[in-house]
């Protein structure tokens, strides 16, 4: 049984938060714990850093909850906190706090003025309820559709997960509503041709100028589309987290939460200058290769 104070007894995993990365998240988690004491006043038997480490491990490795290594707290406890933070928005608070810090570190204001929107259709696991999945007629793929709005740095501004049968227009409108509600500073947006006039008109009603970016029809080789490549790159970065290679979650809300935790992992590494572990080598968690620039 993994209790508070036991973290030092196990060997670290590459996905573990470094001390510096944990300090970026700790104030939010500590505040949350202080507001969620038991009736007896007990704060819980598991160290919160280990709970977060377990969530990041699962996001990176893609294992089932029951297959979390035994040197983490019990999977039931990990999922309990994952669900609590999903439902009360704590995962979003942590994510947004880190995004503000990344933007400031790049010389940007906390609040973005422009977004890029895109969608991604992925297959689902057998535990996904039928009513939350569908067939994407454009991609001829059955599953769920992820919709994201990013800033010009590729950081997430809004994310939704719906059935793959939902048209990009509906996804775009929902994303714009969230962007306008949480980031009223946004006045410009770029999308691909999958988003039609309904999205442009809805953006105009929200004082957001939406521009459709077309690929160069004369290009005979792959050429990144202006602005659109930013959101496409974000999807590529997120897919380093194997939990996102397929939608394994029963609830679409859990899918969106896992995307937030995966981007939280990316941003903590950017803020601390740590390299992202890959199959090519076994760098220690939170370490940085000599002379290597910080990257996701």
Q: Could you read off the pLDDT of 12-45 as tens digits, one per residue?
A: 999 999 999 999 999 999 999 988 876 555 566 7
Q: Could you read off the pLDDT of 265-286 as tens digits, one per residue?
A: 999 999 999 866 555 555 444 4
Q: Has residue 9 got a pLDDT over 80?
A: no
Confidence of residue 288 (pLDDT cuts 50, 70, 90): very low
Kindly report which listed range (144-153, 181-190, 192-201, 213-222) carries the lowest average pLDDT score.
213-222
Confidence of residue 122 (pLDDT cuts 50, 70, 90): very high
Mean pLDDT of the chain: 88
- Class of the 110-249 domain? alpha beta
Q: Could you read off the pLDDT of 56-80 as tens digits, one per residue?
A: 999 999 999 999 999 999 999 999 9
Strand partners, 141: 136
Overall size of the chain counted in residues: 296
């Amino acid at each position: 049984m993994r209790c508070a104070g036991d973290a030092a007894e196990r060997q670290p995993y590459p996905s573990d938060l470094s001390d510096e990365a944990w300090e970026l998240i700790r104030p939010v988690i500590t505040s949350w714990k202080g507001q969620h004491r038991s009736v007896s006043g007990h704060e819980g038997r598991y160290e919160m850093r280990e709970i977060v480490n377990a969530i990041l491990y699962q996001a990176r490795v893609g294992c089932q909850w029951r297959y979390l290594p035994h040197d983490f707290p019990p999977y039931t406890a990990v999922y309990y906190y994952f669900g609590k933070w999903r439902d009360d928005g704590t995962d979003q608070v942590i994510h947004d706090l880190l995004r503000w810090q990344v933007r400031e570190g790049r010389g940007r204001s906390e609040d973005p003025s422009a977004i890029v929107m895109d969608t991604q259709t992925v297959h689902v696991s057998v535990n996904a309820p039928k009513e939350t999945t569908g067939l994407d007629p454009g991609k001829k793929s059955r599953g769920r559709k992820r919709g994201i709005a990013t800033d010009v740095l590729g950081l997430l501004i809004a994310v939704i997960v719906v059935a793959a049968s939902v048209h990009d227009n509906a996804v775009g409108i929902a994303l714009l509503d969230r962007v306008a509600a949480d980031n009223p500073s946004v006045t410009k947006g770029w999308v691909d041709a999958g988003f039609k006039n309904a999205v442009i008109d809805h953006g105009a009603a929200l004082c957001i100028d939406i521009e459709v970016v077309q690929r160069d029809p004369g290009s005979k080789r792959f050429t990144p589309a202006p602005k659109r490549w930013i959101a496409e790159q974000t999807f590529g970065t997120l897919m380093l987290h194997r939990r996102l290679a397929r939608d394994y979650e029963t609830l679409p809300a859990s899918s969106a939460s896992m995307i937030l935790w995966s981007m939280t992992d990316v941003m903590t590494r950017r803020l601390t200058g740590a390299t992202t572990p890959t199959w090519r080598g076994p760098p220690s968690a939170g370490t940085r290769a000599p002379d290597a620039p910080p990257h996701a």
